[in-house]
Structure 1
Amino acid sequence: MLDGLGGLDELCTRALADHGCASVSVAVAEREELVLARAYGMANVADQRPATPETVYGLASVTKAFTATAVCLAADEGLLDLDSPIPGTYRWTAPTPRQLLQHRGGFPAFYNFHYGTGPLPIDIDRYRTLVREPGTDFEYSNLGYGELGRLLEAVTGQDLGDHLRERIVEPLGLISFGYGASYAGTAPVAQRYSADGRAYPTCHSGHPAAGAGWATAGDVALFARTASQLLKPATAAAMYDAVPINDNLGYGFGRIVSHGTGPVIRSHGGGMGGIAAMMIEIPERELSIAVLANSTNKAARDAVVEHMAGILAPGFHSDQLNPVTEQTRPATPARGEWTGEITTPEGGVPLRIRIQADSQVEIRLADNPSVTTSAVASQRWDLRLSAPLQLPTADARLNSPDLGLELRFEQERLAGRAIAFKDGDRVGRLGAYLVHPCVLRSR
Structure 2
Amino acid sequence: MLNGLDAPDALDGLDEFCARALAEHGCASASVAVAERDRLVLTRAYGRANVADRRPATAETVYGLASVTKAFTATAVCLAADEGLLDLDAPIPGSFPWTAPTPRQLLQHRGGFPAFYNFHYGAGPLPIDIDRYRTLVREPGTDFEYSNIGYHELGTLVEAVTGQDLGDHLRERIFEPLGLTSFGYGPTYPGAGPVAQRYSADGRAYTTCFTGHPAAGAAWATAGDVALFARTASRLLRPATLAAMHDAVPISERLGYGLGRIVSRGAGPVIRSHGGGMGGIATMMIEVPERELSVAVLTNSTDKAARDAIVGHLMGVLAPGFSGDHLNPVTDETRPTALTQSEWAGEIGTSEGDVPLRIRILADGRVEVRLAEGPPVAVPAVASRRWDLRVTAPLQLPTTDARLNSPCLGLELRAEPGRLAGRATAFKDGDRDGRLGAYLVHPCVLRSR
TM range (shorter): over 0.9
* 3-state SS of paired residue (1:438): strand
Structure 2: runs of 5 or more not aligned? none
* 3-state SS of paired residue (1:375): strand
Q: Distance in 2 between matches of 1:316 and 1:159?
A: 38
Alpha-carbon displacement from aligned partner over 1:23-77 (angstroms, at most 9, x marks no partner): 0000000111011111000000001000000000000000000000000000000
* 3-state SS of paired residue (1:369): coil
* Residue 274 of structure 2 is aligned to residue 264 of structure 1: no
1:156 pairs, out of 162, 187, 199, with 162
Structure 1 equivalent of residue 219 of structure 2: 213
Structure 2 equivalent of residue 435 of structure 1: 441
Alpha-carbon displacement from aligned partner over 1:275-333 (angstroms, at most 9, x marks no partner): 00000000001000000000000000000000000100011111111223311010111
Contact (CA 8 Å) 2:340, 2:363: kept in 1 or not?
no
1:372 pairs, out of 358, 361, 378, with 378
Structure 2 equivalent of residue 294 of structure 1: 300
Contact (CA 8 Å) 2:245, 2:258: kept in 1 or not?
yes
* Residue 289 of structure 2 is aligned to residue 247 of structure 1: no
Alpha-carbon displacement from aligned partner over 1:236-286 (angstroms, at most 9, x marks no partner): 110000001111010011110001100000000000000000000000010
Alpha-carbon displacement from aligned partner over 1:196-231 (angstroms, at most 9, x marks no partner): 000000111110000000000000000000001100
Structure 2 equivalent of residue 17 of structure 1: 23
Q: Distance in 2 between matches of 1:324 and 1:263?
A: 20
Q: Distance in 1 between matches of 2:161 and 2:33?
A: 34
Contact (CA 8 Å) 2:146, 2:330: kept in 1 or not?
no
1:140 CA displacement: 0.3
Alpha-carbon displacement from aligned partner over 1:53-112 (angstroms, at most 9, x marks no partner): 000000000000000000000000000000000011011110000000000000010001
* 3-state SS of paired residue (2:119): coil
Q: Distance in 2 between matches of 1:291 and 1:339?
A: 47
Q: Distance in 1 between matches of 2:271 and 2:123?
A: 40
1:368 CA displacement: 1.3
TM-score by length of 2: 0.98
Structure 2 equivalent of residue 98 of structure 1: 104
Q: Distance in 1 between matches of 2:416 and 2:152?
A: 31
Structure 1 equivalent of residue 203 of structure 2: 197
Q: Distance in 2 between matches of 1:313 and 1:361?
A: 44
Q: Distance in 1 between matches of 2:416 and 2:323?
A: 38
Q: Distance in 1 between matches of 2:394 and 2:131?
A: 26
Q: Distance in 2 between matches of 1:175 and 1:297?
A: 28
* 3-state SS of paired residue (2:354): strand
1:252 alignment partner AA: G
Structure 1 residues 370-379 or 324-333, which shifts more?
324-333
The correspondence of residues 318-397 of structure 1 with structure 2, limited to 5 A, is 318-397=324-403
Q: Distance in 2 between matches of 1:50 and 1:309?
A: 25
The two structures, once aligned, show a CA RMSD in angstroms of 0.6
Contact (CA 8 Å) 1:145, 1:210: kept in 2 or not?
yes
Alpha-carbon displacement from aligned partner over 1:329-380 (angstroms, at most 9, x marks no partner): 1011131111111000100000000111022111110121110001000111
TM-score by length of 1: 0.99
Contact (CA 8 Å) 1:246, 1:324: kept in 2 or not?
no
1:38 pairs, out of 35, 38, 44, with 44
